[in-house]
Structure 1
Amino acid sequence: MSEKNREGKRSARDQMREQRAAQEARDARKKKLIVLGAVLAVLAVAVGIGVAVQSNRSSSDTPSAAPAGAIGNKNLVIPDGPANAPSTLTVYEDPRCPACGQFEREFAPTIDQLQDQGKLYGNYHIVSFIDRHDGGKGSKNGANALACAQDAGYFRAYHDVLYRNQPQETVDPWKDKSQLITLAKQVPGLDTPAFEQCVNSNKFGSWVSAVEQDFDKSGYTSTPTVLLNGKPIYPKNGTEDITPDNLVKWVNEANAGKTLGTTGSASASPAPTSTAAETDPNQPAASPAG
C-alpha cells in the first residue's frame, strides 16, 4: 500500500474518532440538560405544593367570619354570662361528645344559675374532633349551628337544647342539618330564615375549623375539659370529685370578698351584642386528667 493511501486511511479514522468524540460530548450535554430540567421541574412542583399547603394552613387558622360577641384570640370563644363576674368557667366540648352531653345535662342548670347570679362567666370553646375520629359531619354541623345561635343571641338556650337532645355518638344524625334546625324550634325566637340560612350555608365553617385547630394546639386531648379560673376541675378539683354542689362551693370560695358581676354585662342576652376581642385568660398550658 502506498504511503499516500496509508495517510488517507489514517486521516479518515482520525475524522471518525473526532466525529464520535464530538457526538459523545453533545450527548453528554443533552443528558445533563435533561437531568437539570427534571430537577427544576420537581423543585417547581415542590414549591407550588408548599405554597398551597401554607395558603391552606393560613386560611384555616384565621376564620373568615366569627359569630357576634365572640371573644378571645381570633374571636374563637363564645362567652355566656356577665363578663365582669369574679370567676370564669372555661369549657372545651364537642357537640357529639357523650361525656360532654352527660356533663351538660348534669351541670347546665347549676352553671346557668351561677351565671345569672353574677358569680360566673362562661367561656365556651366548641370543638369538633369527633368527626375526624368517628367519621361524619355532626360535630362540625353542630358547632356551626351553635355559632349561628350565638350570632342570633340565643347561644345558651340552644346549647342546652342541643345537649339535652344529643344522639348517640356513633349514629351521627346531625350530619343532616335539618335536624339541627328542627331542634331550634324549641328555642322561642331562634327558628328564623336567617338562622336556617346560617346553618344550611355553613356560614361559620372556617370559624369551626379555627376553633378545632386552636384546641389541637392547646395541649388538651379530651372533652369535656373544664377549668375554673384556669384550674382544671373535671372530673376532679384536687382530691374532690366534681358535683353540682361542689361546683357551687368552689365558685363561692373563689369569689369570697369579691364583687359579683352584673347581668347587664352579659354576652348571651336575647339580642346579639358585640364584644371587643380580648385574649382568653384561660388558654391552657397543660392537659388535665380525664
Structure 2
Amino acid sequence: MAVIGDRLWYPPGYTNGYLDLPILIGDSGWRDTTLVSPDDLDGDGHPDLLVRATSTGELWLHRGQPDAEDPDATDPASLGDTAGRVAYGDGWTTTDRPLITAPGDADDDGVAEEGGGSGPYARYAAPAHTRGEGGTDIILGRADAEHTLTLYEDLRCPVCAAFEQANGERIREDAEAGRYRTEYVFGTFLDERAGGTGSRNALSALGAALDVSPEAFLAYKEVLFSADRHPDEASDEFADDRHLVGLAQEVAELRGHDGFERAVLDGVYDPWALRVSAKFDAAEDVTGTPAAELDGERIQEGGAGVPPMDPERFGRLVEAAMERSAGR
C-alpha cells in the first residue's frame, strides 16, 4: 500500500513490468501514519492492516472484510475504513519503536503486496502529453530531434535542485532548438529514506501540470526545484497539497486553473506517480539522483555517476556523447 499526500492507495502488484492500477481506499487522514500489513491478524481468513498514528504512537486494527461479489476475497475498501477500525495498542512512538514491520499477503495469492487493482474503487488517469503503457514516458521536445537526453530525478532531492538551477535553462534551450528531446524519469526513493510522501505527492502535482501543457510542466518543475522554493531533504513540505497549489500560482498557465487545482487536491495522478516511480526503480545502473544519459550513454564526471553542475562542462560532455552516438 502507499500513502500519497493525505490519501491511501492499494495497488496489487506488477503485470509485465508495470504497476497495476491502484485503488483509492482512503480519501483523507493518512499523512500522519505508518502502515503495517500483518496478513490475517484476527484469524477470519482475510488479511488485516495495522496503522500507527506517528504523532501519538497509537495502533489501530483495520479488519479486512469479505468482498461482496467473492466472499473468499477481501474487499480492499475495508482496509481503509476508519469508521470500523479498533484500537490495538499504544506507546508505539517513533522514538521508542522507529521501525515496525510485518510480512503480509494482502490478496491471498502467496505474494507480498505493495498495494492496486480493478473493480469499483479503481481509477487510473495518465496526464496528457505522455507516452507508453500507462503514460509513464515523459518525453518532451521536437519530433525531428535525433537524440534523447534522459534525466533521472527525485523532486525532494537537493542535488537535483542544484543541477536544475545550474543546467535547466541550457537544457530547455537545447531542446527548443531541436538538439535533443528530453525524457524525465522521476523516482520517489527519498520518501522511504527520509520519511513522508513529498516526492510522490509533488510528482502527482507535476503530472497535473503536464496535463495542462508541456510548457506548464517545465515551468512548474522549475518552481519546485528553485533555490527559494525547494525544501530541505529532511522536510516533507511537498506532502501538502495546498502548498503545491500555492507554488503553482507562480506559473502563469496554472494560476487560478481549476482543473489543475482539483487534480492536485483529489490526487487524480497519484496512481500514475506510483507507476512512474516504478519505472525509475526498474532503470538499470541508476542508483541515485540526479543522473543523465544521452542516447543511453551516461553523462558524468569522474566516474561518480552524477552529471556536472557547471553548464559549460555539462554541455561539452553532452556534445561529445551526441557525436559518438551519431557515429554509431
TM-score over 0.5 (shorter chain): yes
Letter in 2 for 1:161: V
The match for 1:233 is 299
1:129 aligns with 2:192: no
Matched, 1:222 2:288: yes
Q: Structure 1 residue aligned with 2:275, among 199, 210, 213?
A: 210
SS in structure 2 of the partner of residue 49 of structure 1: coil
Q: Give the secondary-structure state (helix, strand or coil) at the position aligned to 1:50.
A: coil
Map residues 1-290 of structure 1 onto 2, 5 A cutoff. 49-50=108-109, 56=115, 64-153=124-213, 154-164=216-226, 165-191=229-255, 192-219=257-284, 220-236=286-302, 242=308, 243-255=310-322
Q: Is the 8 A contact 1:119 1:255 kept in 2?
A: no
CA shift for structure 1 position 190: 0.9
Equivalent residues of 2:138, 2:184 under 8 A apart: yes
Tell me, in whole angstroms, the C-alpha distance in 2 between the residues paired with 1:125 and 1:115: 16
Offset of residue 253 of structure 1: 4.1
- Letter of the structure 1 residue corresponding to residue 129 of structure 2: G
Contact 1:97–1:130 under 8 Å retained in 2: yes
* Larger fraction in helix: 1
Between the aligned partners of 1:48 and 1:122, the Cα distance in structure 2 is 39
Deviation, structure 1 residue 184: 0.8
My pick for the range that moved more, 80-89 or 101-110, is 80-89
For residue 58 of structure 1, report the CA deviation from its aligned partner.
Answer: 6.1
In the superposition, relative to structure 1, how do residues 104 and 193 fare at CA in structure 2: closer, same or farther (>3 Å)? same
Which secondary structure does the structure 1 equivalent of 2:108 belong to?
Answer: helix
The alpha-carbon distance between structure 1 residues 106 and 170, as it changes in their structure 2 partners (threshold 3 A), is same
Normalised by the size of structure 2, how large is the TM-score?
A: 0.58
RMSD between aligned alpha carbons? 3.3
Quote the Cα distance in structure 1 between the aligned partners of 2:202 and 2:164.
Answer: 15
Check 1:160–1:63 CA distance in 2 against 1; reply closer, same or farther (3 A cut). Answer: farther
Matched to 1:97, the amino acid is: C
Any idea what SS the aligned residue of 1:69 has?
A: coil
Distance 1:148 1:240 in 2: 28
CA change 1:248–1:196 in 2 (3 A) is: same
Judged with a 3 Å threshold, the aligned counterparts in structure 2 of structure 1 residues 256 and 234 are, in CA distance, closer, same or farther, namely closer
Unaligned runs of 5+ in 1: 1-40, 260-290
CA contact (8 A) 1:63 1:74 kept: no
Contact 2:186–2:280 at 8 Å: present in 1 too?
no
Compare relative contact order (CA 8 Å, sep 6+) and give the higher one, 1 or 2.
1
Q: SS in structure 2 opposite 1:68? A: coil
Equivalent pairs counted in the alignment come to 216
Q: 1:240 & 1:134 partners in 2: Cα distance?
A: 21
| Offset at residue 74 of structure 1 (A) | 3.1
Structure 2 residue ranges without an equivalent (≥5): 1-44, 47-71, 74-104
Q: Distance in 1 between matches of 2:155 and 2:178?
A: 26
Residue identity over aligned pairs, in percent, reads 31
Change (3 A) 1:196 1:235: farther
Q: Displacement, 1:249? A: 2.6
- Higher-Rg structure is 1
TM-score, length of structure 1 as denominator length: 0.65
| C-alpha distance after superposition, 1:255-285 (max 9, x if no partner) | 55999xxxxxxxxxxxxxxxxxxxxxxxxxx
